[in-house]
Copies of this chain bind each other. A is one copy, B any other.
């Protein structure tokens, strides 16, 4: 149809769409249960249905969308139980990463971790929530990498991305910033000591607290479920 489009592509078109759609889901722009019509998406992204279908395939495999044969795709509806289960898994995965980090991080990694952690104290003082959240993501990524285990790294990153929509507002609770830093501090200290068990426990507790903070929002879910149900048509 269009001779060339402004496509240019870094990576493939499908990849871009996967990212774009995943982003819309993760940021809550697309709500759970919302119908994903191939035709509409194709029109929206100005491509044909073929790459849309492929992208939906990817997203389905990622667990972000649910595909029902001959009945189209919807944004994955996450039940209360499943959400709890994911946070629980996250806590355990982070515990593993922290434990391994304590046992395996190189000197450079430890120094860098501690350095960044200490620097982040400033963000807490300033109450820079957005910057702190950015740092927080980086902090946790360091733990995942520090475990020196690609597969655990992958599992953890995947789970985290699936939890992203539900963690967004955690820092809006008053005093959360300072507490988060203190929890990080316990983890860092344990890692510097090389105390895997303590680091694991601290990381697990840290995530559990985030989980509880997020549960507040999850409580609003029944409404969302109703909304999405009616949105099904």
- State the A residues within 8 Å of B (CB): 11-12, 14-15, 50, 53-54, 57-58, 60-63, 69-70, 81-82, 85-86, 88-89, 92, 96, 149-152, 154-155, 159
Report 6 cross-chain contacts, Cβ distance below 8 Å, ordered by A residue.
Answer: A54-B54, A81-B150, A88-B151, A89-B149, A89-B155, A92-B96
Residue ID in chain B nearest A88 by CB atoms: B149
Name the B residues within 8 Å of A11 (CB-CB). 69
Number of copies: 2
- Asked whether, in the complex, the Cβ of B82 is within 8 Å of the Cβ of A150, the reply is yes
Report the minimum CB–CB distance from A146 to chain B (whole Å). 14
In the complex, the answer to whether B159 meets A82 with C-beta atoms within 8 Å is no
List 15 other contacts, CB 8 Å, given A12-B69, A50-B50, A54-B57.
A11-B69, A14-B57, A53-B54, A57-B58, A57-B61, A58-B58, A58-B60, A61-B61, A63-B154, A85-B149, A85-B151, A88-B149, A88-B152, A89-B155, A155-B159
Could you say which residues of chain B place their CB within 8 Å of the CB of A155? 89, 155, 159
Which of B57, B92, B154 is A57 in contact with, Cβ under 8 Å?
Answer: B57
Residues of B near A14 (CB, < 8 A) are: 57
The 4 A-B residue pairs whose C-beta atoms are closest, nearest first, are A61-B61, A85-B151, A57-B57, A85-B149
Is A152 within 8 A of B85, CB to CB? yes
